[in-house]
Chain A
Amino acid sequence: MKPAPFDYYAPATISEACQLLSEASGGATVIAGGQTLMPLLNLRMSQPFILVDINNTAEMKGISAVDGGIRIGPATRQYEVLESELLVERLPLLVEAVRHVGHHQTRNRGTVGGSIALGEPAAELPACAVALGATIDIASVRGTRQVPASEFYLGPFMTVLEPDELVTGITFPAWPAGHLPLFSELAQRPGDFALVGVVGALALEAGKISRAGIAWMAMGPTPLKATAAEQLLLGKSLAEIDPQAVAEAAVAETAPFDDKRTSAEYRRTVGARLLARALRELTAQGEAA
């Protein structure tokens, strides 16, 4: 053991977990897969007084069809997404996205909720939640609330979660059968967080786009929904899409940053190309079909 000292609890239920978080008055951290937290604890970059381990909390696990969509328990391992026939059929974007989350080894432990709650702006799953219009289910001793993913993120590694609150589920709305996923990410090494990336889904009704959800990774302090681009897509057939115009509209809504790895201008330039490229591929698919 190398971390700073902490008290350890492994509650069996959500209400017990909430009780612990409430009593900790902000001194607790929730651990699920630990793929981000364990290194931070060992390097003492994170030093909570209390560690609430939700791996024994059965209610926090599993992928299930619910009224009007699919609910994923936050303690569900990332690899389970890859093996879920339900998701492969109904939300193929999530399956594609998880392939880019870390590596085999980290996906065996890492959880969906961990990635969602961490709030890394360059991560795949938060962007998917925003693009697909997911709702984050939150509980505390004070009650429960549902927050749209697009309002869940406040900044890098910052969310609306209060210190006593726990993510208890991620609920994705139903998308029409046969909708088209869109995923394009540039990471310096496979499995890394995105240098820049875009995810989305397009639903067609009678050959026209009836529903569009697009969100950026690493193009601002949070995953960003490309609302103007979505508007440009609605009502068009795949053949009518102007990939360049959509991409430019989508980039116009972003606020990328310079960091050690690359510049904001690189992110804007390449982000637009990634989205345009992905849309052209969809268009080609449309023509082939």
Chain B
Amino acid sequence: MTNMNAPEEKSAGILTGKYIGQRVHRKEDPRLLTGHGQFVDDVSVPGQLHVAFTRSPVARASIVSISSDYAREVPGVHAIYTQQDLADFNVDMISFFLASPDVKTTPLADGRVAYVGEPVVMVIADSRAIAEDAASLVEVEYAEETPLITIDDARHGAPVHPGREDNIAAQMGEEEIDEDLEALLQAAPHLVTHKVVHQRISQSPMETRGVLADPEGPKELTLYITCQSPHMVERWTSLALGKPDMAIRVIAKDVGGGFGLKNHPWKEEVAVILAALKFRRPLKWIEDRYENLIGANQAREQEMTLQVALDNDGKLLASHGDYSCNNGAFPQLSECNIAVHMFVWGAYKMPAYGFLTRGWYTNTVGYAAYRGPWAMESLVRETALDVAARRLGIDPIEIRRKNLVTLSEQPTESCMQIPLEDVTPAECLEKLLGYFDVDAFRREQAEAREQGRYLGLGIAAYIEPTGSAGAIATMTGELAQVRIEPTGKVTATMSTHSQGHGTQTTMAQIFADRLGVSYEDVSVFEGDSSRGGFSPGAAGSRQGVIAGGAAILAADKLAEKVRTLAAHLLQVEAAAIAIDAGQISVAGNPDKSISLGELANIAYGEPDRLPPGMESGLEAQHRYQPPPMTFASAANACVVEVDRDTGFVKIQRWISSEDCGTPLNPAVVEGQVSGGLAQAIGMVLLEEVGFDERGNPTAATYKDYMMPAISDIPTFEFVHANTPSQSVGGMRGVGEGGAIIGAPTLVNAIADALAPFGEVEVNLPLTPAKLLSVMEGRDLTPPKVVAPVAVEPVAPAPVAEPVPAADATPAGPVVIDGDWKMILSTPMGPQEMQGHFETSGDNLSGYLSSPEGQMEFTGSVVNGNNLVFDLKVTKPMKITLKYNLLIDGDKISGKCKMGIFGSAKLTGERL
């Protein structure tokens, strides 16, 4: 992957400076801590009206009738819309990767409902209270059907979406384990089969979703919306609405947390935007917590079974993973999480690995990302390694030392052909072990056990791709625009966006250092799509890495201009110019000096004094295109005590040893890691979105959805194990690491504590009842939800079109030549392309074309109706795509083997 896009400059090592690397106070804090943050609900515009939704009380039904007669009579109600009223917009609910959804997705329910909480009707009224009054008077009659709630329901139940063959939303990998791999697994001295069940999680941002859509005439639209990138929302809205001629401005000054939920608008936000355009008034909708917990998309709810083969010394031999995810009814992307497999053994010496990964449609609210979306890979691997270590009688640290790829063994490639050049989990682990005395802990643990107290130590290591750019349309570089104002102050606008990330602070630190001004003199602006340029913002742990590089390069360009101008004015060599604290001086010539403000005044106001050809003003910008991926690594340790009498877990210590490359601001880094670890603690011990057998959410308020509170979080200890990355500035992403490595660290600590009693099933959350059950050897957990009882017959599954068998011979002559419209189900969503085939005897040639370009192939062979050909691609990485297609009349179908991504289905028809 590294040869795809050569980085513009190489990192020079860990950066430090007067500000970079220092714990400077955050620029955001004075306004946030004095209550002057600006969140969506803080914004009001003249003439705004309010929206409330009537939501489905049932998980699966067809809508028989909707009556708004009573609702319309409520004084203060302006309009009541159903999907019919919004249908003219024909909105395309695209994914984060800009792909159209696999299943028809509409802002309001279109004839059917598929989850409890689905918005069916929207009311526009003078106030939110009036809108809610009226929404409760809307009468909707439903013909209820038996819903599918769990992954297991989805495997066997009638398709959630009529017209589909089954409930598989997405699938990658091979359904059968490869024979060679199977042989390796079976022949191994030890085969550990380890299953992890991860509960469903609500992203639960402190600021719920919300939007104020302000149409300014037919051609302009301003959106105040809580989001992870105003630029992404602008791009998404423009494409989804199909309105390229509309000027859309998106503003989100402050955001109370996104965590993946706010990458782009979804049903409710889109309904509000469309309704505002239709009704031509500004409309505001602020999600309440009940709506957020039942109606906002959710995350996780995954199961994974990992088989790990080892030799007697604990050396890894082979592995297979089988993963399923509950996508709900209308996921923000049809998720089957290929990243789970790409990185499951990413940093380990694993000779052979195979996988199957599937996402399932169910009658629950849809899937959206959550900080560390592929976190399952680390959870299942790191907990499986501990199970293996216990079974083999090896120390869990030793099993990692034996198998982790060390820095001295790089460059190399992971078993998924991912190039590893500078990952450091092994080095992070050693640094952690240098800080934490494991032997002393083991002695304390042994003594405690004699007293009937159960202490446990959990260790986990991981790597994570951060700052990804260049391979996927929306994962771009980042833009920094900086200017020295005529006053000498520095103003920058960035493509970044903060949800509490402190980017205004870290970017200002960079500008101050690189331009030689004081931190106080730098102002950074973001959070408005009319400033800066496109980036997906807070997505994929990227901003420090990429925007940091952009800020360095933009500032360096500007500093160079300052030096050139100063040298010209002072009549010295540019190399002799130094800028510090806003003052320009000349080495060895203390008489010659000029302030940055004086220089700026000349640059803007006295163009005659500039060198010939120099652009007036002091402005520069840079869009930084980093290496395609920058890996972050970490090792964590956690000590717990599990109360023998109650099953309660007390976290005694937690140490993070992470490699974030250059820490722009260690306090911001630690804040990011701490927040992620807090989320992990919530996932392991407390949080759970549940449903009853009818699909009703069982945690609809914060009384039942238990977020970790400050009292549940220990004081984290930090051992920074930083090595510079290859990106400019040497940063590595830290946005998601804590949320990823936290869960296996804590699970391993609990399992270690309870090892004398047996293995702990990793079925999250690990409640006191589950843990006490392990220690007592009897079931103290509440009864499981019983199987759903059919109230009415299930709608008969639509008859699927027969899939042509591989050896099927069509009756008539096969016509191959010509153009075909084909859809490939890729991990990024369905990809539409046009195929052109030409035959000459048995020889086949042609091309596939898509918006990304055209790829030709020649020298392939036709066998009857069977087309087999290979295409070599370089994006998102170098792989060979092996197509195996069958033509049946005017239909085409088959598979494409995509190297490490496994196989994807292809369907299509003649054009």
Contact = CB atoms under 8 A, between A and B. Distances in A.
Interface of A: 1-5, 39, 42-44, 186, 188-193, 195, 258-263, 265-266, 269-270, 273-274, 277
A269 B129 contact: no
B663 interface: no
Interface in B708-723: 708-709, 711-712
Contacts of B780: 262-263, 265-266, 269
A158 to B, nearest CB: 18
Given A258-B782, A273-B645, A195 B289 contact: no
B182 to A, nearest CB: 40
A52 B646 CA distance: 42
B433 interface: no
Contacts of A195: 768
A189 B712 contact: yes
Given A266-B647, A270-B646, 7 more contacts: A1-B127, A5-B129, A190-B711, A260-B699, A266-B768, A266-B781, A270-B772
Contacts of B703: 193
Interface in B284-305: 288-290
B706 A189 contact: yes
A188 B129 contact: no
A64 to B, nearest CB: 33
A189 B711 contact: yes
Contacts of A188: 686, 706, 767-768
Interface string B703-744: 110101101100000000000000000000000000000000
A261 B646 contact: no
B690 interface: yes
Contacts of A260: 690, 698-699, 704, 782
B841 interface: no
Interface string B682-711: 000010001000000011010110101101
A191 B136 contact: no
Contacts of B136: 4, 44
A3 B709 CA distance: 27
Contacts of A5: 129, 133
Contacts of A263: 769, 779-783
Chain A contact residues, majority secondary structure: loop
B132 interface: yes
B768 A262 contact: yes
B796 to A, nearest CB: 34
B289 A43 contact: yes
B705 to A, nearest CB: 11
A218 to B, nearest CB: 13
9 contacts: A2-B128, A39-B701, A186-B646, A186-B768, A189-B711, A191-B709, A259-B782, A262-B781, A274-B646
Contacts, number: 86
A189 B704 contact: no
Given A188-B686, A189-B686, A262-B767, A1 B129 contact: yes
Contacts of B709: 189-191
Contacts of B646: 186, 270, 273-274
Nearest to B289: A43
A1 B125 CA distance: 13
B711 A44 contact: no
Contacts of B290: 43
A122 to B, nearest CB: 11
A281 to B, nearest CB: 13
Contacts of B779: 263
Contacts of A274: 645-646
A35 B146 CA distance: 38
Nearest to B646: A270
B235 to A, nearest CB: 33
B658 to A, nearest CB: 27
A185 to B, nearest CB: 11
Nearest to A260: B698
Contacts of A1: 127-129
Contacts of A190: 709, 711-712
Interface in B742-791: 767-769, 772, 776, 779-783
Most interface-central of B647, B703, B769 (chain A CB within 10 A): B769
B648 interface: yes
A273 B775 CA distance: 15
A62 B33 CA distance: 34
B711 to A, nearest CB: 4
A4 B781 contact: no
Nearest to A192: B706
A186 B769 contact: no
B701 A43 contact: yes
A46 to B, nearest CB: 12
Contacts of A191: 709, 711
A4 B74 CA distance: 13
Given A189-B708, A266-B772, A258 B783 contact: yes
A260 B705 CA distance: 11
A186 B698 CA distance: 22
A287 to B, nearest CB: 20
Contact of B782 (A4, A189, A262): A262
A43 B769 CA distance: 31
Contacts of A265: 780
A261 B129 contact: no
Interface in B71-100: none
Given A3-B129, A186-B648, A270-B646, A43 B782 contact: no
Contact of A2 (B288, B704, B706, B708): B288
Interface in B657-689: 686
A87 to B, nearest CB: 24
A5 B646 CA distance: 45
Nearest to B127: A1
Contacts of B133: 4-5
A95 B879 CA distance: 68
Interface in B263-317: 288-290
A269 B771 CA distance: 13
B782 A42 contact: no
Nearest to A269: B780
A195 B769 CA distance: 10
A5 to B, nearest CB: 7
B129 A2 contact: yes
Interface in B186-237: none
A51 B698 CA distance: 29
B177 to A, nearest CB: 37
A113 B647 CA distance: 33
Contacts of B772: 266, 269-270
A4 B129 contact: yes
A-B pairs with the 10 shortest C-beta distances? A266-B780, A262-B769, A273-B645, A258-B782, A190-B711, A263-B782, A266-B769, A43-B290, A1-B129, A270-B646
B708 to A, nearest CB: 7
A271 B7 CA distance: 63
Most interface-central of A2, A191, A266, A270 (chain B CB within 10 A): A266
Nearest to B778: A265
B707 to A, nearest CB: 9
Contacts of B711: 189-191
Nearest to A36: B703
A24 to B, nearest CB: 20
Nearest to A272: B645
Contacts of B127: 1
